[in-house]
A and B are shown apart, each in its own frame.
Chain A
Amino acid sequence: MSIESHSPAPAVQNPTQDIIKDGLWRNNPALVQLLGLCPLLAVSGTVVNALGLGIATLLVLIGSNVAVSLIRNHVQDTVRLPAFVMIIASFTTTAELIMQAYAFELYQILGIFIPLIVTNCIILGRAEGFARKNTVWRSLVDGTMMGIGFMGILLLLGIIREVIGQGTLFAGMELMFGPAAVNWKWVIIPDYSQFLFAVLPPGAFVALGLLIAGKNVIDDRQKQRVQKAVDDQPALSRRVRVTGHIH
């Protein structure tokens, strides 16, 4: 699977820190692997939508990663994929039922995108590319980090699009957190006439593009800084370093 080729090092050798870094930044599912674009673009119109779907995806991802890792030595290769899909589907159904129970309106807004979590490539990708070959603990960390990484971007998109599209932030939080959250809504620009472009999917594409560009800029800067640090070192110590580390 192509997802694996994105991983900088063989999955099995990742120390926990690397897994965390991968999930949140280096191999971020939304910004680097560009996975799960369909829900990412469709439901990131407001923060509450983004949060709802983000949490649901996170939970499913953690659950499926752990479960897959648990049974990893007991499933035949031939039935591997159906088994994984079954697991993911069960967790998705669970998440859906939980949402129906506690955040029914949000559930209605997110609609088809909740059941569609089953087909989210991030989840199957992690199951296939990571959990299948790693211990339960690692898979748990990976699922959590990937889920948070995905949710983070989803939230960021939600914030950008809600502010630009409607001029508000955290509108409709009551859908999720109950009546107490009604006045969480924060009107940033009063009397804002909607900027529909940001609300519609094309706006999501543009916003995601900008986020990716932003990430690349940060990475480049960092690389330059490292390079500069290396260049600035006195020649002698650099030589020592180089001879000490033969790649």
Chain B
Amino acid sequence: MSLMQRSSPHVMGRNTTSRIMLWVIVAALPGLLALSYFYGWGYLINTVICVVSAVLAEAAILMLRKRPVLKTLKDASAVLTGVLLGVTLPPFAPWWIMVIASGFAMVFVKHLYGGLGQNLFNPAMAAFALVLISFPLPMTTSWSTPEAISGEPLPSFSQQLSHNLEWQAYDGITMATPLDHYKTKIKRLTADELAQTPEYVAGPFYGILWVNLAFLLGGLLLLFLKIISWHGPVGLFTGLLVLALPFSADADSAMPVLMHLFAGATVFGAFFIVTDPASSATSNRGKFIFGFGVGILTYCIRTWGNFPDAIAFAVLLMNISAPFIDHYTRPRTYGKPKPVSGYKLPEESP
């Protein structure tokens, strides 16, 4: 081993896995703060619960797998998953949903597949899908409403905390997410009528737009730091727009393009989920295709499926296809006529 270390290259870049994870966490903070500003303390409380339970769950499974605990925890990937879950789960959801989601993400999605880098699925999205299909009621009715829309103040920190910990339920106004709302209402109303409903007097994007912009800011930071490449996000936006532009032209029957882009988890998904290295494709071309697929599927599920926001399912479906994409986006090796398109069995020796 000493010989191995003494051969070239003798220098290493300063990039480290934990640095990548930490910067992604940092980049997610503006979005988290914006969410908390418009939708209350719930998101912050959720994030804390998720991070703590993700770290504990990872520590437990590491011990079970007889792997170094502290060294692995230091890469901060568990914390990142916790943060990503915290910003995706509804703010009024009870604590045990967080715990189940984080535990499932760490134990089942990440470590049963072999740990960091080996996971087929994006842990946060798989866990989100798990709780969404398992607990449809709390998952659809626990979204909060900005004060400007409901006219009621957001719960105070202690009210929120005791609600989420199920000590004392808080009877605030909760509402479906904007996407959900639009999707159900537009069946009966025209776009103009919809604009008159109380939810829209403050503007269809009130709050959520700023949240998306905050995530965009974080994403641009990651791009600037070269922690993510532009291919995945651009692929997602392209995929979404390819379908949204022609099909959503009529606001009376379909959700407008801008809502597709800025009223859901699109921006968050584009910069924080699609760019997850382990579960996405590896080459730049592959990343674009991966993002593109997510965009297409998101539009389809949002429009013709049962779930109002579809990033999670779209990502999971594309996760399955990532190895396939990798296989067909193999670069052409320098000096070789064409890419080696897959493994052949070694030729029979005569």
Please report which residues of chain A, range 43-64, place their CB below 8 angstroms from some CB of chain B when the two chains form the complex: none
- Give the residues in chain A near B135, CB-CB below 8 Å: 193-196
- Min CB–CB distance B68 → chain A (angstroms): 22
- Min CB–CB distance B89 → chain A (angstroms): 15
- Give the residues in chain A near B134, CB-CB below 8 Å: 194-198
Q: Is the CB of B130 within 8 A of A197?
A: yes
Please report which residues of chain B, range 14-67, place their CB below 8 angstroms from some CB of chain A when the two chains form the complex: none
B12 at the interface (CB under 8 A from A): no
A203: nearest chain-B partner, CB-CB = B134
Q: How far, in whole Å, are A34 and B147 apart by their CA atoms in the complex?
A: 55
- Give the residues in chain B near A35, CB-CB below 8 Å: none
A206 at the interface (CB under 8 A from B): yes
- Give the residues in chain B near A197, CB-CB below 8 Å: 130, 133-134
Q: Is the CB of B138 within 8 A of A193?
A: yes
Q: Is the CB of B133 within 8 A of A196?
A: yes
Q: How far, in whole Å, are A194 and B134 apart by their CA atoms in the complex?
A: 7
- Min CB–CB distance B268 → chain A (angstroms): 24
Please report which residues of chain B, range 211-259, place their CB below 8 angstroms from some CB of chain A when the two chains form the complex: none
Q: Is the CB of B136 within 8 A of A196?
A: yes
A200 at the interface (CB under 8 A from B): yes
Q: How far, in whole Å, are A195 and B100 apart by their CA atoms in the complex?
A: 10
Please report which residues of chain B, range 122-161, place their CB below 8 angstroms from some CB of chain A when the two chains form the complex: 130, 133-138
Q: How far, in whole Å, are A196 and B137 apart by their CA atoms in the complex?
A: 11
- Min CB–CB distance B165 → chain A (angstroms): 16
B108 at the interface (CB under 8 A from A): yes
Q: Mask for A200-218, Cβ within 8 A of B = 1, else 0? A: 1000001000000000000
- Give the residues in chain B near A193, CB-CB below 8 Å: 135, 137-138
- Give the residues in chain A near B133, CB-CB below 8 Å: 196-197, 200
Question: Can you list 9 A-B pairs with a CB-CB distance of less than 8 A?
Answer: A193-B135, A193-B138, A194-B134, A195-B100, A195-B134, A196-B133, A197-B133, A197-B134, A206-B108
Closest 10 CB pairs of A and B: A197-B134, A196-B134, A195-B134, A197-B130, A196-B133, A197-B133, A193-B135, A200-B133, A206-B108, A193-B137
Extra contacts besides A193-B137, A196-B133 (5): CB < 8 Å: A195-B134, A195-B135, A196-B134, A196-B135, A197-B130
